[in-house]
Amino acid sequence: MSTAYKLQIEDVSMVYRGQGGEDITALKNVNLNIRKSEFISLLGPSGCGKTTLLRLIADLLQPTSGKIAIGGLSPRAARKARQYGMVFQSPVLYEWRTIRENICLPLEIMNKTREERKNISDEMLEMVGLSKFAECYPFQLSGGMQQRVGIARALAINPEILLMDEPFSALDEFTRNKLQEDLLRIWSNTKKTVIFVTHNISEAIFLSDRVCVLTPHPGILSAVIDIDLPRPRVDDIRDTPEFAALLSKIRKCFAGMNE
């Protein structure tokens, strides 16, 4: 495979074995090339294989067939080289560790010195706007703030690719919109390649350079939509006719779909 892209997904299929021994085809012949620093969303309803695709990229699963390359490396080699940062729907913070200590956890695993940990965590806390909360415990933070800690912890190891699995879906709409704006600011400052899983069409449009539409049974990549809205994007862009046109275009991709 050529390495012109940061991430290449070539003819990837994933078949699980069901409890009765039957085959469950979660993904079928997915092809996708992702450029460095691109913001990509994987969009689709429950069961279309979004999380499966993310887990295949992250080397948490192996495809039944097909190939994934990360700048020429296998997902295994990329994982070992700490090229991935992961953010989940729930930030899974350790309640007995302060916010700073939570952010420092992957740095401890990497045997960073105390001083390095302090410097990096200071930078991460500032980036996500939580400097004042460094010595607080998770229970003292709102859900949105906790999710910011999850983002800071994922970025602390300075990964090349940020994999995000419905990170804002448990948040209220106001908090969610604010975090989307914050994420775009962080992304434009850090230039990470982001792969963001969501089932929210508006969220996918607001954030992305391209939206990958997945439809289920079996999960296929049925469309890749360019989002040519100007950047930087702020909340008001959601009220523009261009945004509405994209909403309508993507909704049509799901029309008639049998869930």
Ligand X SMILES: Nc1ncnc2c1ncn2[C@@H]1O[C@H](COP(=O)(O)OP(=O)(O)OP(=O)(O)O)[C@@H](O)[C@H]1O
Q: Which is nearer to ligand X, 18 or 21 (CB)?
A: 18
Secondary structure (3-state) at 186: helix
Q: How many residues line the site for ligand X (CB under 6 A)?
A: 14
Examine residue 90 and tell whether it contacts ligand X (CB under 6 A): no
Could you give the C-alpha distances from 251 to 9, 94, 193, 217, in angstroms and in order?
A: 25, 39, 26, 18
Number of separate helices (H) and strands (E) present in the chain:
8, 9
Q: Which DSSP category does 27 fall into?
A: E
DSSP string for residues in 123-185? HHHHHTT-GGGTTS-GGGS-HHHHHHHHHHHHHTT--SEEEEESTTTTS-HHHHHHHHHHHHH
**Binding segment toward ligand X, per CB under 6 A, in 16-24, 143-151, 188-196, 228-236:** 16-24
Q: Contacting ligand X (CB under 6 A), which of 8, 41, 52, 208? A: 52
Of the candidates 207, 170, 233, 212, the one whose C-alpha atom is nearest the C-alpha of residue 48 is 212
Q: How far is the CB of 30 from ligand X (least distance, A)?
A: 12
Examine residue 94 and tell whether it contacts ligand X (CB under 6 A): no
Examine residue 16 and tell whether it contacts ligand X (CB under 6 A): yes
Secondary structure (3-state) at 204: helix
Q: What are the φ/ψ torsions at residue 117 (nearest 5 degrees)? A: -65, -40
**Binding segment toward ligand X, per CB under 6 A, in 48-56, 123-131, 172-180, 182-190:** 48-56
For residue 218, is the peptide bond before it cis, meaning its omega torsion is within 30 degrees of 0? yes
Q: Which is nearer to ligand X, 26 or 141 (CB)?
A: 26
Q: Contacting ligand X (CB under 6 A), which of 7, 9, 12, 26? A: 26
Q: Contacting ligand X (CB under 6 A), which of 36, 37, 47, 66? A: 47
Q: Contacting ligand X (CB under 6 A), which of 46, 111, 113, 189? A: 46
**Binding segment toward ligand X, per CB under 6 A, in 18-26, 134-142, 153-161, 221-229:** 18-26
**Contact set with ligand X (CB under 6 A):** 16, 18, 24, 26, 44, 46-52, 199, 219
